[in-house]
């Protein structure tokens, strides 16, 4: 039986706010935060989870609509913690790209306001259970300050509807810092030195910006700023501790630099990328710095390393007690591939990360790191009812995601790609090639 909600819904049209309580029954509820509940019951109202538990445990109101999900599995929506979603469409077409502002210093850029709610990538991505994404502003070549990211849910009329954490973190992208002969076997010494110098200049400029911004923040507190400066104003929350700095740092020199940077400027940081983070895991743990692992499906950085090095990063961080999440590399060209996020997480399991940790690494953990654990990341009473229904383990490629709910509203799983699929399946039926 189609619900009233569903009858109203059409592809790519955001449904209205949940008006009728829903009671899901029969499914295994994978809460993520706690034990899974076989044949569980989950009551949803006004976009939030009201209660969940064994059959009959939820006191469903009389008007609650019941959805029988016997044999199915319910999971909290996946969270893609490092993406260009909403900011990039076709990576080869400049006109569709809004992720990288010009110049090295753009702390005042706000990703949220550039999120294209009608991006065709959004419905394609949520069809695989990815229901929230961090839209990350980046810097151009050579590193710098990209701007402030936004955690968005993958449904809404406008970016205002979509914003879950409107200003999630300030993103600092470190320049390349490895210039040894291993990386540059055919370059001249003069060229290498020039690159080293440029890199060092960028790092000094970054420090200078933060020093200036801290002084500005103090002056602003004291009411001494006559004319606000757009860039420095945008950095004030960093010094008041309200906003974390997400430092994009992959290799060891960058990560060491990030640690020193946090110390020097007294700011809270999150490492994004973190390829070499296992090398300094005890330092990260001691200082409580989380890592958003920037991709599992990536190549080893070094010829010497084991082929499985990228697959083992998360497991090593987990064993060392470092807080982490698994994401992808976040470049514009990657936006269209965010739908494969669960398979990135899955690719750590055969390499030492417990399966339940792999699941947390794309649900609860990113919610915690991004400051949204009160609303996302697990099936718990009080959290947003943003979840999906699958016919099996969603880390498995062959599992189908059957239904998706965002804030209690069921989203019809149709998109640009399914329309093309259905159109051309019809062609071969007409030609008599297929039935």
Partner 1 sequence: MQRRLIVIGLTAAIHWPAGAQLSTQREEPLRDHTPRVHALIGATLHIAPGKVIANGVLVLKDGRVAAAGPAASTPVPKGARVWKLDGKSVYAGFIDLASSVGLPANARARAAALPFSPGGPPSTPQRAEDMKAPGPRGLSSSNRSVRADFDVAANLEFRADEVKAARELGFTSVLAAPQAGILRGQSALLNTADRPDTKSLVVAPRVAQHAANEAERGFTGSQYPNSMMGAIALLRQSMLDARWHRGALEAYRANPSLERPEPNATLEALTPVLLGRQPVIYAADGEQDFQRIGKVRDEFGLNVIAQGNGYEYRRRDHLKSLAMPVIVPVNFPAPPEVETPDQALDVQLEQLQHWEQAPSNPSLLASAGIEFALTAHGMTQPSREFWNNVRLAVRRGLTADRALAALTTTPAKLIGLQRQLGTLEPGRIANVVVASADLFATEGAEVELAFVDGRPHPTTAAERIDVRGTWRVGDAQWSIGGTKLQPALTIDGAACDIAMRGRQMVVSIPCKKDAAARSTIVAELIADTLTGSLEGATAAPVPWRATRIAAFRDSARPATADVLPAPAAVYPAGTYGIAPPARPAAVLVKNATLWTSGPAGKLAKADLLVRDGRISAVGKSLSAPGAIEIDATGKHVTPGLIDAHSHTAANGGLNESTSSVSAEVRVADVLDATAISMYRQLAGGTTAANVMHGSANTIGGQTQTVKFRWGLDAEGLKVQGALPGIKFALGENVKQSNAATETTRYPQTRMGVEQVIRDAFSAAKGYQRQWADWRATPKTPGAVVAEPRRDLQLEALVELLEKKRAVHIHSYRADEILMFARVAKELGIPVATFQHVLEGYKVADAIRDIGAGGSSFSDWWAYKMEVWDAIPWNGAIMHNAGVLTTFNSDSDELARRLNTEAAKAVRYGNVPESEALKFVTLNAAKQLGIDKQTGSLETGKDADFVIWSADPLSPLARAEQTWIDGRKYFDLKDDARMQDEAAKEKARLVAKALPARLARLRASTVAGSGGRGAGPAAPEAPPSDVRTLLAYFAAQRALHQLNHVRGEYWNGGEWLECTGEGR
Candidates 3-11, 86-94, 219-227, 317-325; binding stretch for partner 1 (CB under 8 A): 86-94
| Rounded Cα gap, residues 263 and 257, in angstroms | 10
Element (H, E) at 192: helix 189-221
Return the residues of window 187-216 that contact partner 1 according to CB under 8 A: 187-198, 200-201, 204
Buried-exposed string 254-281: b where 16+ CB fall within 10 A, e elsewhere: bbbbbbebbeebebbbbbbbbbbbbebb
Residue 222 found at the interface with partner 1 (CB under 8 A): no
Residue 166 found at the interface with partner 1 (CB under 8 A): no
Return the residues of window 132-161 that contact partner 1 according to CB under 8 A: 138-144
57 or 201, CB closer to partner 1? 201
Return the residues of window 379-398 that contact partner 1 according to CB under 8 A: 395-398
Minimum distance of partner 1 from residue 278's CB (angstroms)? 12
Element (H, E) at 387: strand 387-390
Q: Which residues contact 102 (CB under 8 A, 6 or more apart)?
A: 140
Helix (H, G, I), strand (E, B) or coil at 150: strand
Residue 20 found at the interface with partner 1 (CB under 8 A): no
Residue 173 found at the interface with partner 1 (CB under 8 A): yes
List phi, psi (to 5°) of 360: -65, -30
Burial group, residue 157, by CB count within 10 angstroms (0-12, 13-18, 19+): exposed
Among positions 175, 278, 366, 377, the unique one binding partner 1 when judged by CB under 8 A: 175
Dihedral (Cα; 153, 156, 161, 165), 10-degree rounding: 10
Residue 377 found at the interface with partner 1 (CB under 8 A): no
Minimum distance of partner 1 from residue 114's CB (angstroms)? 17
134 or 384, CB closer to partner 1? 134
Q: Name the residue among 222, 10, 239 with its Cα closest to residue 107.
A: 239
Residue 183 found at the interface with partner 1 (CB under 8 A): yes
Return the residues of window 280-319 that contact partner 1 according to CB under 8 A: 294-295, 297-304, 306-308
Whole-angstrom CA distances from 332 to 38, 93, 139, 299 are 40, 11, 12, 19
229 or 308, CB closer to partner 1? 308
Residue 343 found at the interface with partner 1 (CB under 8 A): yes
Contacts of range 189-198, beta carbons closer than 8 Å, 24 or more positions apart: 198/142
Q: Which residues contact 87 (CB under 8 A, 6 or more apart)?
A: 97, 98, 99, 111, 114, 115, 116, 135, 136, 137, 332, 335
Residue 264 found at the interface with partner 1 (CB under 8 A): no
192 or 373, CB closer to partner 1? 192
Element (H, E) at 23: strand 22-29
Whole-angstrom CA distances from 318 to 35, 59, 248, 249, 287 are 20, 38, 20, 19, 15
Minimum distance of partner 1 from residue 299's CB (angstroms)? 4
Number of shown-chain residues binding partner 1 (CB under 8 A): 97
Candidates 5-13, 51-59, 83-91, 363-371; binding stretch for partner 1 (CB under 8 A): 83-91
Among positions 9, 43, 325, 331, the unique one binding partner 1 when judged by CB under 8 A: 331
Among positions 8, 14, 116, 179, the unique one binding partner 1 when judged by CB under 8 A: 179
Question: Site map for partner 1, 94-133, x if CB under 8 A?
Answer: --------------------------xx------------
Return the residues of window 228-257 that contact partner 1 according to CB under 8 A: 248, 250-253, 256
């Amino acid at each position: 039986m189609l619900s009233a909600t569903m009858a109203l819904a059409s592809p790519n049209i955001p449904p209205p706010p949940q008006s009728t309580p829903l009671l899901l029954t029969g499914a295994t509820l994978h809460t993520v935060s706690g034990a899974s509940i076989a044949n569980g019951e989950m009551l949803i109202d006004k976009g939030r989870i009201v209660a969940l538990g064994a059959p009959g445990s939820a006191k469903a109101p009389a008007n609650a609509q019941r959805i029988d999900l016997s044999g199915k599995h319910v999971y909290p929506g996946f969270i893609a913690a490092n993406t260009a979603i909403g900011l990039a469409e076709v990576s080869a077409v400049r006109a569709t790209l809004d992720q990288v502002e010009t110049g090295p210093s753009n702390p005042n850029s706000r990703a949220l306001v550039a999120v294209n709610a009608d991006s065709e990538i959004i419905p394609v991505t949520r069809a695989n259970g990815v229901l929230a994404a961090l839209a990350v502003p980046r810097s151009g070549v050579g590193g710098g300050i990209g701007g402030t990211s936004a955690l968005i849910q993958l449904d809404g009329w406008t970016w205002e509807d979509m914003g879950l954490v409107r200003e999630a973190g300030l993103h600092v992208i470190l320049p390349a810092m490895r210039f040894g002969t291993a990386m540059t076997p055919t370059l001249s010494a003069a060229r290498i030195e020039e690159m080293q110098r440029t890199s060092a200049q960028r790092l000094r400029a970054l420090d200078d910006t933060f020093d200036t911004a801290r002084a500005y923040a103090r002056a602003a507190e004291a009411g001494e700023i006559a004319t606000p400066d757009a860039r420095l104003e945008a950095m004030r929350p960093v010094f008041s501790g309200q906003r974390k700095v997400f430092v994009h740092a992959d290799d060891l020199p960058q990560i060491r630099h990030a640690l020193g940077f946090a110390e020097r400027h007294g700011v809270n940081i999150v490492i994004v990328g973190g390829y070499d983070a296992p090398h300094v895991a005890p330092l990260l743990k001691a200082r409580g710095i989380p890592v958003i692992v920037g991709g599992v499906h990536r190549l080893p950085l070094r010829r010497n390393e084991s082929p499985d090095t990228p697959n083992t990063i998360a497991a090593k961080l987990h064993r060392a007690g470092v807080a982490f999440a698994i994401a992808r590399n976040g470049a514009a060209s990657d936006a269209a591939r965010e739908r494969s996020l669960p398979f990135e997480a899955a690719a750590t399991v055969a390499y030492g990360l417990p399966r339940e940790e792999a699941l947390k690494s794309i649900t609860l953990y990113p919610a915690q790191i991004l400051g949204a654990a009160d609303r996302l990341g697990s099936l718990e009473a009080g959290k947003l009812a943003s979840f999906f229904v699958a016919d099996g383990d969603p880390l498995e490629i062959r599992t189908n995601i059957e239904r998706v709910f965002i804030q209690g509203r069921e989203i019809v799983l149709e998109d640009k790609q399914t329309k093309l699929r259905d159109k051309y399946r019809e062609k071969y039926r007409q030609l008599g090639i297929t039935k």
